Amino acid sequence: NAGVMQNPRHLVRRRGQEARLRCSPVKGHSHVYWYRQLPEEGLKFMVYLQKENIIDESGMPKERFSAEFPKEGPSILRIQQVVRGDSAAYFCASSQGTANTEAFFGQGTRLTVV
Amino acid sequence: KQEVTQIPAALSVPEGENLVLNCSFTDSAIYNLQWFRQDPGKGLTSLLLIQSSQREQTSGRLNASLDKSSGRSTLYIAASQPGDSATYLCAVETGANNLFFGTGTRLTVIP
């Protein structure tokens, strides 16, 4: 009974490359959330997805960032043309329902842009 | 806009001491408040979840309280142990289906 699985755990990209972060939610969970933790800052909400739909992307940067949660397979957070400021830990969480249900977090993907 | 503040930012205590971590939030319209633990280089572990209608939750040596009207929560750790050393985060859930996190309190328990 695996929890939220994120991969890779560590990702190094050169400036201008693309980063793809994967998140497999807890089995049976259809709600996925992505958070970003910048160095010395707290976690900030990025996007909330429910199978095949983006529900709330108010925390996503307007450019270069996109997220999807297809009917089959993991949720993907995609960052195009990465810059040094994208270096952070990206956490994914999943839950069974909507508001007021417990979210379970993955171990995060640490992205380093060199 | 919801803002979550945690005080202190860092805390060092000798083993065995009881301690309190503080969390405050600006908008009392929350569904719940959670306390998480984050170990260096690792993910988040949920410790306690308090619904907005509750005043406290207990799990082992941990006790969390919630005063929604004043926008405050405390996490009480009894008889601290070196294994308790970690960063403790509080987060509130609003109706927007997302969590607002504080910046955390980095706890060090000295053997």
Which residues lie closer than 8 Å to B70 by C-beta, 6 or more apart?
none
CB contact under 8 A, A55 and B97: yes
Question: Which of A38-42, A58-62, B80-84, B89-93 shows the lowest mean pLDDT across its residues?
Answer: A38-42
Give the gap in angstroms from C-alpha B46 to the nearest C-alpha of chain A.
7
CB contact under 8 A, B42 and A43: no
CB contact under 8 A, A107 and B101: no
- Per-residue pLDDT of A91-100, as tens digits, reads 999 988 766 6
From chain A, pick out residues whose CB is under 8 angstroms from the CB of B104.
Answer: 42
Tell me the residue type at A114: V
| pLDDT averaged over 10-residue windows placed end to end, chain B, 111 residues | 91 97 94 90 85 94 96 97 96 78 94 95
Q: Which residues of A touch B (CB under 8 A)?
A: 6, 31, 33, 35, 41-45, 48, 55-56, 58-59, 91, 93, 98-100, 102-108, 110
- Per-residue pLDDT of A70-105, as tens digits, reads 988 999 999 999 999 999 999 999 988 766 677 788
Answer with the residue of higher pLDDT: A114 or A107: A114
CB contact under 8 A, A33 and B96: no
CA distances from B73 to A110, B27, B49, B107 (A): 30, 13, 11, 17
| Most confident of the following: A25-29, A65-69, B31-35, B89-93 | A65-69
CB contact under 8 A, B97 and A59: no
- Cα distance from N-terminal residue to C-terminal residue, chain A: 36
Interface probe, candidates B98, B100, B101, B106, chain A, greatest A C-beta count within 10 A: B98
